[in-house]
Structure 1
Amino acid sequence: MALKQEHLDRIADAMPEIGRDPASVRQRVEAMEALLERGFTMPVINRPFGLDFILGLVPVVGDLIAAVMGTWLVWEARNLGMPKWKIARMFGNIGVDLVVGAVPLIGDAADFVFRSNTHNLRIIRKHLDKHHPETVTIEGQLNR
């Protein structure tokens, strides 16, 4: 059964818009960074950790999945028109996280300490603060 254009239009109208404006991008990258790096809290030591750390516990495949998820932040940064050297720096952060994270035990400890997605979020925030200052939010200021 083929869908008619009017059905597709109704579906599109019902879906929330994914904004491409810098403020929407800021919200998405901050949410993804929070999920990957500080979505949970380690009991006893009260230290935040995220999906990146959890996935890193699965040898090789987990680190690859976490790197792919982190690459999404770089894709959003590229869509903002960030310079290539900043994009390369962000890929470097992900690469370091991936290579070090692949080492058993040492990589898990490194994932707990080195937060590539947080570093990449800082790069994106600096760019947005300079080129799109209207996107600064109170929550964004508190999470720095």
Structure 2
Amino acid sequence: MANSSEIKAPHALRRAQKLAHMLDTAVGIPFTKIRFGLDSLLGLIPGVGDLVTVGLSAHIIHLAGQMGAPMSLRAAMVKNAVFDFLIGLIPFVGDISDIFYKGNRKNIRLLETWWVSTHHQQLKNQTAEMVDKWEKETTKGKYD
């Protein structure tokens, strides 16, 4: 049963992770380590596709704001999204680069790193409590 003080990733972070996965890494090319997502596919539609994907990238940044991410972090996320958008505007080269430059995944790593560092001590304490509980349950009756 979950403890009421249990630290969990916020809903906004989970939504941002799912969206970034959909945009950057949802599809794998068989027998390779290459993954791509809607960002690469929508980028094939001149102009409109890039506008749609930058809007979705902006939504990830908005979710970061809902989580309370600092302005400096969100500014770094904007930089990644703008770079991804601008490179995507270059015909053909931009479409290929979208497969390899995963600005949304970069933004999620920034956001996850910030969130974990912000909640580090709470997560450490929670983990110690869970390990203690597990040890008590697994050794119960063994040494009585």
The aligned counterpart of 2:73 is: 86
How many angstroms apart in 2 are the aligned matches of 1:105 and 1:45?
21
Is structure 2 residue 69 aligned with structure 1 residue 69?
Answer: no
Q: Residue type matched to 2:83 in 1?
A: V
Q: Deviations over 1:46-80 (max 9, x none)?
A: 52110111111111110110010011110011111
Q: How does 1:116-131 map to 2 (within 5 A)?
A: 116-131=103-118
Could you tell me the percent identity over the aligned residues? Answer: 27
Q: How does 1:1-40 map to 2 (within 5 A)?
A: 22-40=9-27
How many angstroms apart in 1 are the aligned matches of 2:88 and 2:76?
18
Is structure 2 residue 82 aligned with structure 1 residue 95?
Answer: yes
Deviation at 1:45, TM superposition (A): 3.6
Q: CA RMSD in A?
A: 2.0
Please list every run of at least 4 consecutive aligned residues from structure 1 whose deviation after the TM superposition is greater than 3 angstroms: 43-46
Q: How does 1:100-111 map to 2 (within 5 A)?
A: 100-111=87-98
Contact 2:13 2:67 in 1 (8 A): no
Answer with 1 or 2: which has the greater Rg: 2
Q: Residue type matched to 2:23 in 1?
A: L
Deviation at 1:132, TM superposition (A): 2.8
With structure 1 as the length reference, what TM-score do the two structures score?
0.73
